[in-house]
Amino acid sequence: MSYKSDIEIAREAKKRPIQEIGDKLGIPTEHLLPFGHDKAKVSQNFINSVQSNDDGKLILVTAINPTPAGEGKTTTTVGLGDGLNRIGKKAMVCIREASLGPNFGMKGGAAGGGYAQIVPMEDMNLHFTGDFHAITSAHSLLSAMIDNHIYWGNELQIDERRVAWRRVVDMNDRALRDIVCSLGGVSNGFPRQTGYDITVASEVMAILCLSNNLEDLQRRLGDIIVAYTRERTPIYCRDIGADGAMTVLLKDAMQPNLVQTLENNPAFVHGGPFANIAHGCNSVIATKTAMKLVDYVVTEAGFGADLGAEKFMNIKCRKAGIAPSVVVLVATVRAMKMNGGVAKADLGEENVSAVEAGCPNLGRHIENLKSFGVPVVVAINHFVTDTDAEVQAVKDYVGEHGSEAIVSRHWELGSEGSEALARRVAEVADADVASFAPIYPDEMPLFEKIETIAKRIYRADEVLADKKIRQQLRDWEEAGYGNLPVCMAKTQYSFSTDPNLRGAPTGHSVPVREVRLSAGAGFIVVVCGEIMTMPGLPRQPAALTIGLNADGEIEGLF
Amino acid sequence: MSYKSDIEIAREAKKRPIQEIGDKLGIPTEHLLPFGHDKAKVSQNFINSVQSNDDGKLILVTAINPTPAGEGKTTTTVGLGDGLNRIGKKAMVCIREASLGPNFGMKGGAAGGGYAQIVPMEDMNLHFTGDFHAITSAHSLLSAMIDNHIYWGNELQIDERRVAWRRVVDMNDRALRDIVCSLGGVSNGFPRQTGYDITVASEVMAILCLSNNLEDLQRRLGDIIVAYTRERTPIYCRDIGADGAMTVLLKDAMQPNLVQTLENNPAFVHGGPFANIAHGCNSVIATKTAMKLVDYVVTEAGFGADLGAEKFMNIKCRKAGIAPSVVVLVATVRAMKMNGGVAKADLGEENVSAVEAGCPNLGRHIENLKSFGVPVVVAINHFVTDTDAEVQAVKDYVGEHGSEAIVSRHWELGSEGSEALARRVAEVADADVASFAPIYPDEMPLFEKIETIAKRIYRADEVLADKKIRQQLRDWEEAGYGNLPVCMAKTQYSFSTDPNLRGAPTGHSVPVREVRLSAGAGFIVVVCGEIMTMPGLPRQPAALTIGLNADGEIEGLF
């Protein structure tokens, strides 16, 4: 039996005009701002008008540590959203936007897969509604205004060596990682060393995704620390005077983007912060607006549950004042097998004992997620090669660990395949058994917050950090930043900081290489490994084969 | 009597839903791709479907050499379009898009002014439909792919010192004019000197604006010369393999943007190439599509007629195979006075003899425009301070020089004020008296093309160019570029290369400092003065006062 590719399925989608999708959410025409006929933004005024509505239930989809086998977290998010609609629930999906630049390196991806996708897929991999371009513009304006301030007399006494604000572009361009700017003489300013990150790594992106409204956005933008004086006094974006104009540039980008699933159910696709140096979730404004519009909001967090769900809980939920009613933990038989030591090439063969050997990774995540006070349902994202015995092994394991696993075939069958999962998830959500709380309080000292995550989530024995880093954390506490959550940046492939350590390791150490203050976004980034904020293109970039075919369709992007 | 500001008038606009404007042009809903409720793109398929329609008349609006008094070229373009609609003609306007970056330096501008404006003004000064962001992305992709090619082995043997393709950003950022990139060690590539221009100066912008369709676009993108080998062999964008992916990035940006005037008449606002290192007109695809949809298309060219109209005729019309039926030359009494030696502060006082003294600038332009074989109507864009005697002086002068001048009060009265102008322009267009031809043939040697423009349009005695420049032109002729038109880059303030030389100078020399080949756009840029391709922000940039007010309206942008 042969299966259609994601792009083939997406191109066959019977999309409904976006206003029809908006109608399902009660969004009047004047408040649904179309971008073409299949995308739209929801007006700020409409968002304001629904604030007194009751909140729907929030369902978080997360996953085990990713393996090259693929877990299908987004696919399950979309499939579950369609499944809920199928059983008569008013539900929608909230996921992140894709970054344009990387698509010219490796092939771009679908939002979901198989018969659980969000469309229009091509637009979402290109300019979409321009949000990321707006973020690049706002970031670039601040960059230009900092150097312009220095050029015209440097009244704030910025130390050119201590400009913390780099530049960004939504492109994989390694040549820009490290540059010297302002060369060429007096009229071009004071030469200094700086560099570019990719747009999704911009603090503006994290801020946009954590802001509750435009006022909050502007306040946070103003809070960005852009540079220091020789005396190490911080200079804020507000001092540069860029926060107002940046807010104007971001005004439209703050409005959530409405699109649809293959089954014509509504989805917000909005915001896309890095999952390492930022928190990796779609925007707060999209999630909170969705909760005002439907009874069940299905959303996802980046990477595996140790990073993504932890940040979703400790950063996004804490800051936005929201709480999940249930968490869906996505696993696959194939990924269990890889965790159990099977090589990728051998995944096609039945291997129950390898599945069993890999399950502890899943068990650890179940335990961790429960520690936030939320019930956990495991979704086994079914592959056509999975055998009954393998599936049963996962189910048995999960049952023994105080949870339940449900097979879902949304990839193959759409909502018909996810109905069982949807029924059970809705039941659990409706039971109101969650008593969500972040795993550390605001007032805990910063280093203890890091230790709490390392010990309770990663199951490490200790956190290693030199004196300078510990002193930096204490300095920030004294400066009034002690109440911020911490944003961990480590490998997604393991509970530990060693990407090759699969399963459920214990006894390891978490070395902290660096800490960074994102004062506007409102978190302390804790870097525990190599973090690449500007990718390069590969030897044979995807761009070489991307083009329009004779029918005007895009080839090579997927 | 006090007058409302442009922004006040624009905010009071009674905009109609954009589909209604599309209906006037016969564009079906499925082919009008909305961006919000007041902007839309016209689909490529619709454009293809109207190719067999008859062409409407093309009306070019140009102006005398600009003075600080302001001439109101765009205002007159919009006013004339509305006037034509008022007298029952099916007409539309085609103008350029504004660049985002400069608005954060100096305040942004209306498209038109008074009661002759195109709306939505705020969007047009911000992201609009994202065209310029798409151009920045396409340009950036090529930049990244060039350095990536060098990084992975440099098979094409690009000489890093001879990479001609710079980077661009849509921001006034002087710190980026001159940079060293690829610092930081082996994994970041080979350090080299480069820099940024503002997006509107990108050759991609010129290409987009001169392309007839997507195939033509891709071919021209492929033709861009991005670098040279040590042996001076040119390396093309096509060799880098970026042309297909760039076309994909520009696919939507190639579709003209439909908006409306204050009087709800249709307008295409599309493309915005520099008027010095490029040709300074809105896109060919917008102009040609408009000609298929209405009977009269009113468009404008950048700067004064010596630069803008010359390039419109010799570059845009030649390449697009279109021809104006009539040219409207905009003048103001105030500008005549300034040309006649009056200081800006004294413009409010009646001064007929100064008006008369300034008129030769106007006379020269009339003569030049006629040399292209097109009839000329002078529009006196009326200011409320103009006296009858002053207006009569202009009319008399124009009459004596074989043309006619018509006062137009569109700024104050909208189409009621431009009715007379519209009637006469339509009459002249309908008389089919134009016998348009560029003033030099394709096969003329490049240096002679420069001389032809300098002598026949600027009335210079000679063109000065050193041996190296003349040799470069001969080399390009040998390489097969001899048939290209030349794109003059000189001051807009004078017929000469001295910006202070007002009126109608003769006997001057035109020194050529540099020549550049834009092989994709298809012209040779002839630089005859300082050309700034990356502006800086002023000491007090407009961005400092830009922000949202309590009603969510944008303040400080205008």
The set of residues, in sequence order, having a beta carbon less than 8 Å from that of A311 and lying 6+ positions away, is A275, A279, A280, A281, A301, A302, A487, A488
Cβ–Cβ below 8 Å for A173 and B144: yes
- Determine which of B15, B43, B131, B148 to mutate to test the interface with A (most A C-beta atoms within 10 Å): B148
pLDDT in tens, A127-139: 999 999 999 999 9
In the residue annotation, A335 being an active-site residue is answered as: no
Cβ–Cβ below 8 Å for A147 and B34: no
pLDDT value of position A527: 96
CB B432, CB B325: distance < 8 Å: yes
Please name the residue of chain B whose CA is at the shortest distance from the CA of residue A168: B169
Q: Other CB atoms closer than 10 Å to residue B77's CB: what's the count? A: 30
Q: Is B69 annotated as a binding residue?
A: yes
Min mean pLDDT across A65-79, A507-521, B39-53 is at A65-79
Positions of chain B with pLDDT lower than 70, given as ranges: 1
Q: Is A555 annotated as a binding residue?
A: no
Secondary structure of chain A: what % helix, strand, coil (to 5)? 40, 20, 40
Pairwise CA distance, residues B182 & A195, whole Å = 9
Residue with tokens 């301030």: A149
In B166-222, beta strands by DSSP E: 167-169, 179-181, 192-194, 196-198
Amino acid at B218: Q
Whether the pLDDT of residue A69 is over 80: the answer is no
pLDDT value of position A256: 98
Please name the residue of chain A whose CA is at the shortest distance from the CA of residue B30: A37
Q: Does A218 touch chain B (CB under 8 A)?
A: yes
Catalytic residue of the set A46, A312, A383, A558: A383
Pairwise CA distance, residues A458 & B385, whole Å = 77
Helix (H, G, I), strand (E, B) or coil at A322: coil
Q: Does B107 touch chain A (CB under 8 A)?
A: no
Residues 527-546 on A with a CB inside 8 Å of B are 536-537, 539, 541-546
pLDDT value of position A1: 53
Whether the pLDDT of residue A354 is over 90: the answer is yes
Of the candidates A46, A457, A61, the residue with the CA atom closest to the CA atom of residue A282: A61
Secondary structure of chain B: what % helix, strand, coil (to 5)? 40, 20, 40
CB B74, CB B511: distance < 8 Å: no
Q: Is A455 left (phi over 0), alpha (psi -120 to 50) or beta?
A: alpha
pLDDT in tens, A403-448: 999 999 999 999 999 999 999 999 999 999 999 999 999 999 999 9
Please name the residue of chain B whose CA is at the shortest distance from the CA of residue A154: B539
Cβ–Cβ below 8 Å for A543 and B141: yes
Amino acid at B114: G
pLDDT value of position B530: 85
For residue A379, give how far its alpha carbon lies from the nearest alpha carbon of chain B (Å).
37
Q: Does B199 touch chain A (CB under 8 A)?
A: no
Q: Is B287 annotated as a binding residue?
A: no
Pairwise CA distance, residues A181 & A167, whole Å = 11
- Determine which of A163, A183, A258, A557 to mutate to test the interface with B (most B C-beta atoms within 10 Å): A183
In the residue annotation, B229 being an active-site residue is answered as: no
Cβ–Cβ below 8 Å for A536 and B148: yes
Domains and CATH numbers, chain A: 6-129+253-430 (3.40.50.300), 131-247 (3.30.1510.10), 446-527 (3.10.410.10)
A163: β partners: A227
Q: Does A193 touch chain B (CB under 8 A)?
A: yes
Read off the pLDDT band of A302 (50, 70, 90).
confident
In the residue annotation, A275 being an active-site residue is answered as: yes
Q: Is A63 annotated as a binding residue?
A: no
CB B98, CB B125: distance < 8 Å: yes
In the residue annotation, B411 being an active-site residue is answered as: yes
CB B69, CB B344: distance < 8 Å: yes
Q: Does A28 touch chain B (CB under 8 A)?
A: no
Residue A538 gets which letter from DSSP? -
Q: Does A43 touch chain B (CB under 8 A)?
A: no
Strand B257-261 to B266-269 pairing = antiparallel
pLDDT in tens, A88-111: 999 999 999 999 999 999 987 879
In sequence order, what DSSP letters do the residues of A399-459 get, joined into one string? Answer: HHTT-EEEEE-HHHHTHHHHHHHHHHHHHHHHTT------SS-TTS-HHHHHHHHHHHTS-
pLDDT in tens, A233-279: 999 999 999 999 999 999 999 999 999 999 999 999 999 999 889 99
pLDDT in tens, A365-378: 999 999 999 999 99
Q: Is A67 annotated as a binding residue?
A: yes
Pairwise CA distance, residues B231 & A123, whole Å = 42
CB B221, CB B520: distance < 8 Å: yes
pLDDT in tens, A491-513: 999 999 999 888 899 999 999 99
Q: Is B68 annotated as a binding residue?
A: yes
**Using CB atoms, which residue from A151, A189, A548 is nearest to B251?**
A548
**Using CB atoms, which residue from B169, B182, B546 is nearest to A244?**
B546
Structure token digits, residue A422: 């949807």
pLDDT value of position B1: 54
Q: What is the ipTM for the molecules in this complex?
A: 0.97
Task: Provide φ and ψ at B455, rounded to 5°.
Answer: -85, -45
Q: Is B71 annotated as a binding residue?
A: yes
In the residue annotation, A383 being an active-site residue is answered as: yes
Catalytic residue of the set A275, A335, A357, A542: A275
Catalytic residue of the set B107, B162, B423, B455: B107
For residue B4, give how far its alpha carbon lies from the nearest alpha carbon of chain A (Å).
24
In the residue annotation, B24 being an active-site residue is answered as: no
pLDDT in tens, B38-55: 999 999 999 999 999 999
Q: Does B170 touch chain A (CB under 8 A)?
A: yes
In the residue annotation, B62 being an active-site residue is answered as: no
pLDDT value of position A405: 97
Chain A to chain B, count of Cβ pairs less than 8 Å apart? 230
